[in-house]
Structure 1
Amino acid sequence: MPHYFDTAHRQEIETLRQRWTARTEWPTWLLLIGVYAGWFGLVLASDRLGLWWSTVLLIPLVVLWLSVQHELLHGHPTRWLRLNKMLGYAPFAVWYPYTLYRDSHLQHHRDEDLTIPGRDPESRYLTAERWRGSSLWVRGLHWLNKTVIGRFLLGAPLALAALANEERLKMTAGDRHAWRMWLTHGALTLLMLTFIARYSVLPVWHYLLLISVPALSIAMIRSYYEHRPRAAPEQRSVLNEAAWPWRWLFLNLNFHLVHHDLPGLAWYDLPHAYQARREQWLARSGGFLVQGYGQLWRRNGIKAIDSPRHPFH
Structure 2
Amino acid sequence: MLKSDLSVMDTVQEPETFDPVARQKTKHHQILSVQELNALNARSNWQGFLYLAGHLTIMGVSGYLWGTHLNRWEIGIPALVVYGFSFASMFAPMHECVHRTVFKNNRLNDLVGWFAGLLSFYNSTFYRRYHKWHHRYTRIPNKDPELTDLEPSNIWEYLLVMSGLLWWVDKLRGYFRMACGQFEGCPYVPEAAQKEVTRSIRLQLAVYGAGIAVSLFVGQPWFFLYWLLPLAVGQPFLRFILLAEHTGCTKDDNHLSNTRTTLTFWPIRFLMWNMPFHAEHHLYPSIPFHALPAAHQKLREHFTHVEPGYLKVNRQIIETFREHQST
TM-score of the alignment, normalized to the shorter chain, above 0.5: yes
Deviation at 1:243, TM superposition (A): 3.3
* CA–CA distance in structure 2, aligned partners of residues 260 and 37 of structure 1: 29
Deviation at 1:123, TM superposition (A): 1.7
* CA–CA distance in structure 2, aligned partners of residues 45 and 169 of structure 1: 37
* CA–CA distance in structure 2, aligned partners of residues 163 and 108 of structure 1: 17
Deviation at 1:207, TM superposition (A): 4.1
Deviation at 1:42, TM superposition (A): 5.0
Q: Is the 8 A contact 2:85 2:235 kept in 1?
A: no
Of 83, 87, 94 in structure 2, the residue corresponding to residue 69 of structure 1 is: 94
CA distance change for structure 1 residues 276 and 195 in 2, over 3 Å: closer, same or farther? farther
Of 238, 263, 267 in structure 1, the residue corresponding to residue 289 of structure 2 is: 267
Taking structure 1 as the reference length, the TM-score comes to: 0.73
Summarize the alignment of residues 138-287 of structure 1 with structure 2, pairs less than 5 Å apart: 143-144=154-155, 147=158, 149-153=159-163, 156-170=164-178, 171=180, 173=182, 176-192=195-211, 203-227=222-246, 228-234=249-255, 235-279=257-301, 281-282=302-303, 287=304
Q: Quick check: 1:300 aligned with 2:313?
A: no
1:60 equivalent in structure 2: 85
CA RMSD of aligned residues (A): 3.5
Q: Is the 8 A contact 1:247 1:253 kept in 2?
A: yes
* CA–CA distance in structure 2, aligned partners of residues 56 and 231 of structure 1: 36
Q: Is the 8 A contact 1:43 1:200 kept in 2?
A: no
* CA–CA distance in structure 2, aligned partners of residues 103 and 224 of structure 1: 21
1:136 equivalent in structure 2: none
Please list every run of 5 or more consecutive structure 1 residues that lacks an aligned counterpart in the other structure: 127-138, 308-313
Q: Is the 8 A contact 2:43 2:103 kept in 1?
A: no
Q: Is the 8 A contact 1:89 1:98 kept in 2?
A: yes
Amino acid aligned to 1:32:
L
Please list every run of 5 or more consecutive structure 2 residues that lacks an aligned counterpart in the other structure: 5-20, 184-193
- Secondary structure in 1 aligned to 2:234? helix
Deviation at 1:41, TM superposition (A): 5.4
Question: How many percent of aligned residue pairs carry the same amino acid?
Answer: 21
Q: Quick check: 1:15 aligned with 2:32?
A: no
Amino acid aligned to 1:163:
K
* CA–CA distance in structure 2, aligned partners of residues 299 and 259 of structure 1: 23
CA distance change for structure 1 residues 201 and 67 in 2, over 3 Å: closer, same or farther? farther
Amino acid aligned to 2:209:
L
CA distance change for structure 1 residues 194 and 76 in 2, over 3 Å: closer, same or farther? farther
Deviation at 1:295, TM superposition (A): 0.6
* CA–CA distance in structure 2, aligned partners of residues 178 and 12 of structure 1: 36
Matched length: 278
Taking structure 2 as the reference length, the TM-score comes to: 0.70
* CA–CA distance in structure 1, aligned partners of residues 198 and 253 of structure 2: 38
- Secondary structure in 2 aligned to 1:92? helix
Q: Is the 8 A contact 1:47 1:201 kept in 2?
A: no
Deviation at 1:29, TM superposition (A): 0.7
Deviation at 1:192, TM superposition (A): 4.7
Amino acid aligned to 2:93:
V
Q: Is the 8 A contact 1:44 1:200 kept in 2?
A: no
Deviation at 1:184, TM superposition (A): 0.4
Amino acid aligned to 1:66:
F
* CA–CA distance in structure 1, aligned partners of residues 319 and 215 of structure 2: 37
* CA–CA distance in structure 1, aligned partners of residues 322 and 148 of structure 2: 12
CA distance change for structure 1 residues 201 and 34 in 2, over 3 Å: closer, same or farther? farther
Q: Is the 8 A contact 1:239 1:255 kept in 2?
A: yes
* CA–CA distance in structure 2, aligned partners of residues 300 and 166 of structure 1: 28
Deviation at 1:30, TM superposition (A): 1.4
Any idea what the Cα deviations from partners look like across 1:101-158, whole Å, max 9, x if unmatched?
A: 2221222111xx22345422222567xxxxxxxxxxxx9x7644763x44312xx211
